[in-house]
Structure 1
Amino acid sequence: MYQPPSSKSGTTGINRLIASAFGVRLVSDVPERLTRSPIPYRPNARRRARIDAIRDSGVLFIHVPKNAGTSVCHQLYGTQIKHETVRYYASVAPDVLDLPSFAILRDPVCRFRSAFAYARSGGTRDRAVARPFNARYRAFSRIDDAIDHLASARSPFDVDHIFRPQSWYLNDAQGACRVDRLVPYHEIDRLGQITGLDGLTDLPRLNRSSAPAPLVLSPRQEAFVKDFYAEDFALWEEITSPASRPCSGRRATS
């Protein structure tokens, strides 16, 4: 006897069709794809509410995945602003790029190790890996499985946010970082002092993965990571080199 699909499975199927029509895996990536195309796009009410929360706070935080951003969003906005990029904001709400802005940047190798562990576990108790990637990521048995996945990707849209380059979120269409302050991940405990925002002094640690056994990359694997995340390494070296300031102004002119 035929059983109609449940509303949840039906919604999943519809989302899959919508995402496929725009050449992405995640339906939440459709707005990002549209803002990178000539097709006009206006955010829906939920997205407009998140932008209003940013305006009300007076500061823009770019939430780079796997960099403790869930906790920062909770403290700053009382909600999650998702993993929107500088290019998304430049298209739908360019005024927010005029606000003081910051992001947390992480050593790319350490971030890759964290993303791999997160992928294999399917997420954390607070958040799961997105459905289109969940089964494949949980099936990763070795680091090379993740590397093969990244090597075969035609664009960042072909991988989940946890594996996308950090620079993808921070750079504008010309490849310039549009964030005022890049805070090294190891300085999170000083985030309130660095940004001058009292609410970030004692951060709750949300969406935190349990500490996995240290992952050791072979020289070949580390060379791939350094090549794949070359722009991230350039940013990382800039803010952590002995000659650099802890946070440097990097607002670009358009």
Structure 2
Amino acid sequence: MLGIKTAISTYIKAHSDMYPYRRYMCKNDCVFIHIPKAAGTSVLHALTGSTNHVQRDHCTAFNFKSADKKRFEKSFKFAFVRDPIDRLQSVHRYLLSGGNGINNKRLSSLVTADFAHFDDFVLNYLDPMRLHTEVLFKPQFSFLCNEYYELMVDFVGRYERIDQDFEVVRSKLNLKTSLPRSNISKATNSSELSDNVRHRIAELYSKDFELFDYPL
């Protein structure tokens, strides 16, 4: 009887939510680092089989390692990144549309009222400090790298070729589900941006451009 109780307890512990590790991570022996506005909702849908993700965790690789180093090291760790300019434009559109209506409600109202034009948002609102106080603005490298700018994950896919790159994840985790198209926005035409705006984004997200080899 005691053996059965121990087995049940072990199973529950292995398959329950242990923040920042979630049930689907324990089930698939993986760590998905969800960078905002980089198709994370679709990836979550494929991993969990559910579209009900009211609370989306945006934890860093360092958060996962600090919480459980042993689990972190044995898990398949992956993320998806996106062209910094395209991602920032997506963030801006997201805020103009109301954001998630909960955590960033105040920010959404501010941007809509005072920085509705993307150029104005980049040149007069964003600054180095705000990049680290709002998760939507955080550089992508800060989710994935250690203090030496070394990647802490096993695989980094790209938003721009997400169908192809997700196959790597699907094969590694033996997933039966293909990638659904959940909340994936279309790329915008960054060639229309002014030189000042492009230069400012290049300054703010210089390490993302460098580490993930995106053109300026």
Q: TM-score, normalised by structure 1?
A: 0.64
- Asked if 1:60 corresponds to 2:35, the answer is no
SS in 1 for 2:32: strand
Residue of structure 1 in register with 2:8 after alignment: none
Give the number of the structure with larger relative contact order, counting CA–CA contacts within 8 Å between residues 6 or more apart.
2
* Greater displacement, 70-79 / 211-220: 211-220
- Asked if 1:115 corresponds to 2:91, the answer is yes
AA partner of residue 98 (structure 2): G
Q: CA deviation at 1:73?
A: 1.6
- Structure 1 residues 47 and 149, CA gap change in structure 2 (3 angstroms): farther
Contact 2:33 2:60 in 1 (8 A): yes
AA partner of residue 37 (structure 2): K
Distance in 2, matches of 1:62 and 1:52, equals 11
- Structure 1 residues 145 and 199, CA gap change in structure 2 (3 angstroms): farther
- Asked if 1:85 corresponds to 2:60, the answer is yes
AA partner of residue 85 (structure 1): T
Q: CA deviation at 1:182?
A: 0.9
Distance in 2, matches of 1:185 and 1:200, equals 21
In the TM superposition, structure 1's runs of 4+ consecutive aligned residues that sit over 6 Å from their partners are: none
Residue of structure 1 in register with 2:178 after alignment: 202
Equivalent residues in 2 for 1:126-141 (5 A)?
A: 127-128=100-101, 130-139=104-113, 140-141=115-116
Contact 2:41 2:183 in 1 (8 A): yes
Residue of structure 2 in register with 1:174 after alignment: 148
Contact 2:158 2:165 in 1 (8 A): no
Q: CA deviation at 1:155?
A: 5.1
Structure 1, gaps ≥5 residues long: 1-45, 241-254
Q: Deviations over 1:216-247 (max 9, x none)?
A: 31011001111111111012218x9xxxxxxx
Residue of structure 2 in register with 1:101 after alignment: 77
- Asked if 1:75 corresponds to 2:46, the answer is yes
* Aligned residues: CA RMSD: 2.8
AA partner of residue 76 (structure 1): L
- Structure 1 residues 78 and 202, CA gap change in structure 2 (3 angstroms): closer
Distance in 2, matches of 1:94 and 1:108, equals 30
AA partner of residue 67 (structure 2): V
Contact 2:46 2:177 in 1 (8 A): no
Residue of structure 2 in register with 1:163 after alignment: 137
Distance in 1, matches of 2:78 and 2:187, equals 28
AA partner of residue 229 (structure 1): Y
Q: CA deviation at 1:82?
A: 0.9
Distance in 2, matches of 1:52 and 1:142, equals 38
Q: Deviations over 1:175-218 (max 9, x none)?
A: 32211111111221123422214537622222345x59746310
- Structure 1 residues 69 and 200, CA gap change in structure 2 (3 angstroms): farther
Distance in 1, matches of 2:189 and 2:97, equals 15
Residue of structure 2 in register with 1:23 after alignment: none
State the percentage of identical aligned residues: 29
Q: CA deviation at 1:88?
A: 1.2
Contact 1:117 1:212 in 2 (8 A): no
Contact 1:109 1:225 in 2 (8 A): yes
- Structure 1 residues 121 and 92, CA gap change in structure 2 (3 angstroms): same
Structure 2, gaps ≥5 residues long: 1-15
Distance in 1, matches of 2:205 and 2:19, equals 32
